[in-house]
Amino acid sequence: MRYPAGTQALQAVDLDVRAGELLVVLGGNGCGKTTLLRCLTRALTPSAGQVWLNGIDLAELTGEKLRRCRLELAMIWQQAALVRRRSVLANVACGALGRQRGLWTSLGGVPAAELPAARDCLAEVGLVHLAAQRAGTLSGGQAQRVSIARALLQRPSVVLADEPVASLDPEAANEIMRLLRRLAHDDGLAVLCVLHQVDLALGFADRLIGMRAGQIVFDRASETVSPNEVQALYLPRAA
């Protein structure tokens, strides 16, 4: 990926994430992690290369075809981005808006047919007992779990998470990482997670990718990566 001003944000980046795997991407600020996610979701169009999802190259798609294929990709952000005045269940139901398009939903209505499935997704993240509670009353960890339930209702095959524990306390962060690992191992989703927390990456990832200056430095099973190798990603580059 090269930006119009000439900055080379990504160069020769080649990776895959498999069903049933939690893949964590590590690297310092400006190394290309967020740009990578934006290229994967096609929020950015790569300058060159392909983005393969279930045998389809997203880099070649536009319009309605791109929108439909994007339904296979669910995004979890650093902030849960819930509608605070709405109930937890209504927030989860918004995950179905990509396939429930109509006048009612365009006016802000909740797709009633999706509410049972939304409740099931809440149960999967352990929060079904909070279904009727206003989202604005949740703790940070609870809100992030609700955002994961919302992503699950999208029925994705791939989950992308951009620093999903950055604003959480250690206990809540561990809870979110356990949940992401369970979605990969038990539900068979392909999960790609960008993190800064080295201990969480080493403790939960099946595979680690280290990035520096827009390139992949290593791509290996997590148990073969040493803490020193990870820490080196964050050291200043030599002049």
Strand 190-194 versus strand 22-26 pairing type: parallel
Q: Where are the alpha helices (DSSP H) in the chain?
A: 33-40, 63-70, 88-93, 103-106, 115-124, 140-153, 170-185, 198-204, 227-232
Q: Say what the pTM is.
A: 0.90
Q: Considering only the top CATH level, what class is 22-205+216-232? A: alpha beta
Burial of 58 (0-12, 13-18, 19+ CB in 10 A): buried
Q: Where are the domains of the chain?
A: 22-205+216-232
Coil, helix or strand for 48? coil
The pLDDT tens digits along the chain (239 residues) read: 998 888 899 999 999 999 999 999 999 988 999 999 999 999 999 999 999 998 999 999 999 999 889 999 999 998 898 999 999 999 999 888 776 666 555 556 677 788 999 999 999 999 999 999 999 999 999 999 999 999 999 999 999 999 999 889 999 999 999 999 999 999 999 999 999 888 999 999 999 999 999 999 999 999 999 988 998 898 876 54
Backbone angles phi, psi at 56, to 5 degrees: -120, 135
Return the closest-CA partner of residue 181 out of 172, 170, 190: 190
- How many residues are there in the chain? 239
Q: What angle do CA 168, 174, 180 make, to 5 degrees?
A: 100
